Amino acid sequence: MTKREPLSPEAVERLIAATEPWLSCDDCFEQIDAAIDKVVDSTGSMSEELRVHLSACAVCCEEARSLAALVAEEHGLSPAEAVARLDAALRIR
């Protein structure tokens, strides 16, 4: 029998998170580039649908964090600063 590892608190939070308004992963990937540029540049915010999706979907959130780190230099930031701006935008409700 395979030993099962307990879920992390973050995994549990994502599983029980409210996912309305709903956005598919495909829709997320269509919007993510422009949204990350706005958030990292502090010129705008992301849509509520995108924020909810990124808060609940680990795969899309990791993609968003990678993109934020990639575009950081274009905005005069370190990768850590850009990811911190994204993380802050995800916490805004």
Q: Is residue 39 part of a domain?
A: yes
pLDDT of residue 5: 86
pTM of the model: 0.76
Q: Is residue 1 part of a domain?
A: no
Q: Is residue 3 part of a domain?
A: no
Query: Any residues with CB less than 8 A from the CB of 71 and at least 6 apart, and which?
Result: 36, 37, 40, 82
Number of domains in the chain: 1
* Structural domain span for residue 66: 19-91
Q: Is residue 48 part of a domain?
A: yes
Q: Is residue 38 part of a domain?
A: yes
46-75: average pLDDT: 94
**Per residue in 1-55, pLDDT tens?**
688 888 888 777 766 666 677 789 999 999 999 999 999 998 888 999 999 999 8
Task: Print the SS3 string covering 28-64.
Answer: HHHHHHHHHHHHHHCCCCCCHHHHHHHHHCHHHHHHH
pLDDT of residue 93: 53
